[in-house]
Structure 1
Amino acid sequence: MKVAVVDDSDSSLSLMSGLVAALDNVEAVPFSRATDALIWIGQNPVDLVIVDYLMPSLNGLGFIELFRRDPKQASIPVIMVTSSESKDVRYMALQLGATDFLTKPIDPVEFTARVNNTLEAHRAHKAMADQSAWLASEVARATERLLDREREALLVLGRTAEHRDPETGRHLTRMSHYSWLIALALGLPTDQAARIKVASPLHDVGKVAIPDHILLKPGKLTPDEFAIMKGHAQHGANILAGSQSPLLQLACEIALSHHEWFDGSGYPNGLSGDAIPLSGRIVAVADVFDALTTTRPYKTPWSFEDAHDHLRTGAGCHFDPVCVTAFGSVLSDIRDVFEANRE
């Protein structure tokens, strides 16, 4: 362990450094100038600092104040050596971050015992901190592995609907990336945007409950058929409901709300404005845009410009205007996703 000893008196510096060096596995690093010590400590790890109070230019109190400004030094113990009996000095040192005090003239027995005890306490603190850091990293790795499995399971579940509906193709990949880009453009935290990206492919999972003669019909649906088709939003929510997983809870929210319209004319619950969950408002934009720009049996693909115009025209009616604006701000990224994931 390394101990920085700071004292402008050569005799005191020599005495304290010798006593420190006599301890097992401890190295003394002496400094006669406080500023030199601060510079060196800023570049080298230490386990303890012993600093004299009365020094020219920068005294012990000033040293401790500057030393504690560095967050990396917050847990390093500091012993201040002083011949002053003033309680004010000691109070100030404690407020600035001193750990202990030694009184001049130095008593070698007391000095050795206090320094050794302080180093042992710091060694134990470091060991505990290292163990805590290791445990935290192991927990983080285990959590990430669980999340990876959960994300994989969600993607597989989302593909259930995709395989029943041949129109979708790589729709899930594109619209989930579009949703993620919109969320980031809205300023959502990166972890929240990532959750929307992972959960959004389940938006149409309720289509597994729609009869084939309706789901696979190549032409326009009749009003009665469309009424049955609209039930996929509630079916999806029913499939995903009741989970303790935050990702599945978000997927349930998206499945239920991504066909709501901003003006309240959507389904299944006729929600409007901010009453529609933000995740649903985001996915609505991404879902419709992808549907417009891809080939379907009943339509040819729209151009990017026409599809974007449709979103802007529908802002405030079908779509949340803020989400449409966010979409437009990342249109070049949207195009990149489309090009990378063509049918």
Structure 2
Amino acid sequence: MTNATSESKHFSILVVDDEPANIDILLGILKPYYKLKVAPSGFVALKIVEQFIPDLILLDIMMPGMDGFEVCKRLKSDKRFTSIPVIFVTALGQGEDEEHGFSAGAVDYITKPVSPSITLARVKTHLSLAHQMKTTEALVKERTQDLLASQQSAITMLAAAGHYNDTDTGHHIWRMAAYAKLLALQSGWSYEQATLLSQAAPMHDTGKIGIPDSILKAPRKLSEAEMVTMRTHAAIGHKILSQSNTPLFSMAAEVALYHHEKWDGTGYPEGLNGQEIPQSARIVAIADVFDALTMKRPYKPAWAHDDAFDYLTKHAGTHFDPTLVKHFLDAREIILTTKQYWDKLEEENLLPSIDSFIPDVISRKS
């Protein structure tokens, strides 16, 4: 036979038929070229697939108890098995039966009595297609992982750049990102969008790389002129992060520009008020201030948790979105659990991946 090669032995096929004679015929055709398993019924076939995932299934349609259409539907409804090509081997005619089979998820039909050459040709074709698909999917997954790793590195570098001259922030930018994600989830954001915000939040002060050291490191209260310069970091960060129009960096640019706006319109750089301020920036503002208050700095001790929550309450409706403050207070327990998690990492000088802003148990709970 030229239809199959010795390399075919790498592939496995499950033959499903309730008639021993039909199984014997298929075994005689395929055994020289493929690793084979046999199931005398649909029920047995499903049990076998749970333990051993074949590269292809040859499936009879007319079987007692559970016909081939039902077996195929059950396989295709399980994400573990959707990629297994199923070829129906049947004596049924074409037309509606074939349409039924394809709608159930089959990739082809072989009509009984089977032809050895046709059987080998179709099996080889669909195994080859499935193998190519798996190879392509693996390559895409690998490239996607590389892209994500590059993106995470960019986030880390831009976040670090914004705090390069601040040696006392520790895990601040990552901890506040965790709070931002929690508050977003508490406010009804989807998990995907909340995760995106947690990745954007650490870059909120990227623009500080454009502020002179004499201002950033001034050991005194800044003059009005110096404050004007300091406030330009929002626009600088926005300009830097706007160089990319991906969803992540678009959100990061938005947060960088507006995280110093205040609910009552007294913030900067544009003096927006209320819901004119993007919700992403309103969320980050609360997360950022809460963490700044509760962390120890050279010029101040860490505030007690109650005092920090009281500060947010006192300034709800002036500095902060009052609805978001309520959501934050409602999540008090989980906020403090997250703080303990990150404080422990900081004590041990550990930094998990950017996807671990919130411990898994907390993510599931929220």
Q: Shorter-chain TM-score: which interval?
A: 0.7 to 0.9
Matched pairs, number = 322
In the alignment, is residue 76 of structure 1 matched against residue 80 of structure 2?
Answer: no
Gap change, CA 1:280 and 1:134, over 3 Å in 2: same
Q: Deviations 1:270-299 (Å, cap 9, x if unpaired)?
A: 1011221233323322343345444565x6
Write the distance in 2 (CA, Å) between the matches of 1:152 and 1:229: 27
Question: Contact 2:206–2:237 (CA<8 Å) still a contact in 1?
Answer: no
1:230–1:93 distance in 2 versus 1, CA, 3 Å: same
Which digits, 9 at most, give the CA deviation of each residue in 1:145-171, with x for residues without a partner? 422432343134213442xxxxxx523
Q: Residue type of the partner of 1:307?
A: A
Contact 1:77 1:118 (8 Å CA) reproduced: no
State TM-score, norm by structure 2.
0.73
- Conserved? CA contact 2:55–2:84, under 8 Å: no
Corresponding position of 2:49: 41
Q: What is the aligned counterpart of 2:154 among 150, 156, 160?
A: 150
Alpha-carbon distance in structure 2 between the residues aligned to 1:339 and 1:36: 51
Give the AA of the match of 2:259: H
Q: Which runs of 5+ in 2 are unaligned?
A: 1-10, 348-366
Matches within 5 A, 1:63-102: 63-71=71-79, 72-82=81-91, 84-85=92-93, 87-102=95-110
Structure whose CA Rg is larger: 1
Aligned to 2:182: 184
Distance change (3 Å), C-alpha of 1:149 and 1:14: closer
Distance 1:126 1:53, change over 3 A: closer
Q: 1:18 to 1:170 in 2, by over 3 A?
A: same
Q: 1:2 to 1:156 in 2, by over 3 A?
A: closer
| CA deviation profile, 1:21-41 (whole Å, cap 9, x unmatched) | 2xx421343333332233223
* Closer/same/farther in 2, CA of residues 309 and 124 from structure 1, 3 Å limit: same
Q: 1:201, CA displacement in angstroms?
A: 4.3
Determine if contact 2:60/2:90 at 8 Å carries over to the other structure. yes
How far apart, CA to CA, are the structure 2 residues paired with 1:241 and 1:341? 31
Q: Supply the distance in 1 between the matched residues of 2:319 and 2:44 (Cα, whole angstroms).
A: 68
**1:55 equivalent in structure 2:** 63
Displacement, 1:235? 4.0
Would the alpha carbon gap of residues 304 and 36 (structure 1) be closer, same or farther in structure 2, given more than 3 Å must change? closer
CA contact 2:162–2:209 (8 Å) conserved in 1: yes
> Partner of 1:218 in structure 2?
220
The 1:5–1:217 alpha-carbon spacing in structure 2 relative to 1, beyond 3 Å, is closer
Q: What secondary structure sits across from 1:42 in the alignment?
A: helix
Q: Does residue 12 in structure 1 map to residue 22 in structure 2?
A: yes
Q: Percent identity?
A: 25
Mapped pair 1:141 → 2:149 = no
> What is the alpha-carbon distance in structure 2 between the residues aligned to residue 41 and residue 19 of structure 1?
22
* Corresponding position of 1:254: 255
**For 1:8, what is the secondary structure of its paired residue?**
coil
User: Matched residue of 2:313: which SS?
Assistant: helix
Q: How does 1:288-299 map to 2 (within 5 A)?
A: 288-293=289-294, 294=296, 297=299
- Aligned pairs for 1:305-316 within 5 A: 305-316=306-317
How many angstroms apart in 2 are the aligned matches of 1:25 and 1:198?
56
Q: 2:131 aligns with which of 118, 127, 138?
A: 127
Structure-2 residue corresponding to 1:166 = none
The amino acid across from 2:278 in the alignment is P
Answer yes or no: is the 8 Å Cα contact 1:7–1:13 preserved in 2.
yes
The answer to whether the 8 A contact 1:177-1:197 is kept is: no
Runs of 5+ unmatched residues, structure 1: 163-168
